[in-house]
A and B are shown apart, each in its own frame.
Chain A
């Protein structure tokens, strides 16, 4: 009995050691970003590996400089609006298509799913020009809808949720089928709640990719009051291109909301199926 306890303790310590090492490796660039933001320009370009912390005091005023030179409130608002609509659209269309591909029999299913896969196989650069032309021809440059446009459907999300639905036990739905529950009824009330955690991961990915996308907002929303964080900071990157502290301060300010959103959603994500799955 004693050895089992010792074993458990040893396992716990081992786990913590592995996690701490990995956490350290993953944290380096983030820490680097924040530390650079607090240095002077001179310090930031020194490549001496042991010159990590700012020496001549911590320059918090870099953040103030960045905050003052940009209307961050508008940039945050535009970014959040775009992310919100993209997440809603992606989750909605992908969950429906994922359910159909994962659970229903219908004609041309294989062929249609191959098309979904093909979309992921081509480099995304080839989509930009035609998509830009569509938005331009519809007169939606400088609108939120123009920003959302390429993200209203998602091949990746469809595939992700298809996997989620396929993983659920078959008998669940069969029982409901015998009870005479219609297809949409089964989908809405039995199957969809069970894939909540897949949906949250899709939401997180959609948000992160939408947030990081620089090129699309740059060509679609060129006005300072309709553009997003990443593109809004583009001008700054040029202006302060060689001033890494200012650039990194801007990058830190831009990333913060994403981290906060993730921390909030993480709870959802972790508790997703763990609770409802227990009832199976």
Chain B
């Protein structure tokens, strides 16, 4: 260790010697030419971890709710009327957790090659990462996603109440994976008569809602279903 210290001392002395008798500008020039990489490197080594720690500690990370509206021409993103209304209906405090709605996905699992695009890859990543709660799209498309197993089987005990309440709206799909089930599996809830179609005009024909296979926020999903299917009446009363 002492040799290290000796080397450092020698180096410091040498540099001091070189800087002696120079003007401030010359000193700055010298340091910049010989040490710019070090300065940049040390800056990065300090700034990046600081930034990451700051973000990890202080930023809003968790979601109240994450919804994807696929293949829509309408406006359903963050800050849209739909978003505003749902947040105030559910009473979510968006400074504590985020409510995310995303309307820029375009893929169609019901046609051949319809999933050969980046949108579908991004969507699959969202589902598999467990962030996605709800996806809404046309009936055939949703069945396609369902077949790949990316939607929650509604018979799952965690969403028993949803399954019970909306039993008359269930949409079934046939899984690709015949080992899981050879019978159709309930994966979607038909919401063609909901506010998404009537009030916010995201869809023209049919709309079916599916629940992400790895969601952890089924209570939010239930709230959302309440909102889009019965929300209007409550609005007027309240």
Contact = CB atoms under 8 A, between A and B. Distances in A.
Interface stretch (B22-30, B71-79, B166-174): B71-79
Contacts of A237: 106
Given A136-B131, A138-B55, A222-B102, A214 B125 contact: no
Contacts of A125: 121
Contacts of A132: 125-126, 129
Interface in A85-140: 89, 92, 125, 128-129, 132-133, 136-140
Interface of B: 34, 37-38, 40-41, 44, 51-52, 55-56, 58-61, 71, 73, 77-78, 100, 102-106, 118-119, 121-122, 125-126, 128-129, 131
Interface residues of A, number: 31
A140 B98 CA distance: 12
A-B pairs, top 6 by smallest CB distance, nearest first, are A139-B59, A238-B106, A139-B61, A235-B104, A215-B118, A218-B122
A239 interface: yes
B61 A137 contact: yes
Contact of B37 (A137, A138, A188, A239): A188
B131 A224 contact: no
B129 A133 contact: yes
Contacts of A63: none
Interface in A205-235: 214-215, 218-219, 222-224, 231, 234-235
Contacts of A189: 34
Contact of B73 (A218, A223, A239): A239
Given A138-B55, A139-B59, 12 more contacts: A92-B41, A139-B60, A143-B55, A189-B34, A214-B118, A215-B118, A215-B121, A218-B118, A222-B100, A222-B104, A234-B119, A235-B103
A122 to B, nearest CB: 15
A188 B31 CA distance: 13
B106 A136 contact: no
